[in-house]
Amino acid sequence: MTGLLHDRVVLVSGGTQGVGAAVVRAATAAGAAVAFTGRRGEVGRAIEEDLRTAGADAFFVHADIADPAAAAGSVHATVDRFGRIDCLCNNPGLTTRGTLLDTTPELFDEHIAVNLRAPFFTMQAAVRDMVARRAPGSIVNIISMSQHGGQPYLAPYVAAKAGLAGLTRNAAHAHRFDRIRINGIDIGWTETEGETLIQKRFHDADDSWAERAAGALPMGRLSQPHEIADFVVFLLSDGSGVVTGSVIDWDQQVVGAHD
C-alpha cells in the first residue's frame, strides 16, 4: 500500500481503536498526512506520539463526534492543521444491544447519533471544503453487514447502519460531478478490542470467544482490522478508479444465498 495516499490529507473519524486505528496506521504508511478523532484523549495522544516518532505526520483531534458540532469541528481542525481535506473515513460505531421490543428512545438516539448523524455531518463539512476548492476527494464509510437485516438484538444499530448505507449512495450520486467519490464497506464479524468488550458484556463470553467464533466460520477465522484498513486505503486512493456509490460486502457469508 506504500505511496497510494502520497501527499493526501486524510481524516479518520473514530480512529483510536479497532478498525479506525488500523486505518490511521495504514493511511500513514501509504504516505498520507492523517488526522484522527476519538473520545479517549490519552489513547489518541499516545497513538499520535507513536506515529510521529516513526516519522508520520499525524494529528489527534480529541472529540466526541456524537455532537454534530464536534463532528464538523473535526474537519475544520483538519483543514486548520493541513490546509485542506482530501479523504475521509467514517469509522465510529456503537454496537450496544437492543431489540425492537426493549430498545428505549434514549438507546435509539445514541445509535443514530454515533452511527448515522456523526458520519452525515462529518461528510457535510468535508464535502463543503472539497466543493469550495473545486477539488476531487474520496470518502469511505464503514458500515456493517448487519445493515442487510442483522440479528434481532441489533435493532437500533441496524436502523442506523442501513441509513448510512442509503446516505452513502445518496451523497455519491449528488457529488459525482464534483469528482468526489463516496463508497461504503459492510464489514462482517471482526476481531477487535471493542468486540471483545461487547461479547463479554452482552453474551457472557470469556477470553476464548474469538477462537470459538472463528471455528464456526467458513474461512476458520474472523476478519482482522488491518485487512479492512488496507482495503479502505485502496478505496480512498486513485487506485480504485472511478468507483463511487458502491457499498461493498466485506464478509465470508453471502447475503441472499442458502444451503
The CA distance from 62 to 40, in Å, is 7
The residue annotated as part of the active site, out of 157, 189, 209, 250, is 157
The CA distance from 236 to 34, in Å, is 13
The CA distance from 213 to 26, in Å, is 26
Q: Which three cell numbers stand for residue 155?
A: 435493532
Distances (CA, A) of 173 to 131, 225, 239: 14, 28, 20
Question: Are 28 and 257 contacting, i.e. CB atoms less than 8 angstroms apart?
Answer: no
Distances (CA, A) of 83 to 64, 67, 79, 147, 169: 22, 24, 5, 35, 28
The CA distance from 28 to 18, in Å, is 16
Active site residue 153: no
**3-state DSSP assignment of residue 38:** strand
Question: Are 253 and 148 contacting, i.e. CB atoms less than 8 angstroms apart?
Answer: no
Which active-site residues does the annotation give? 157
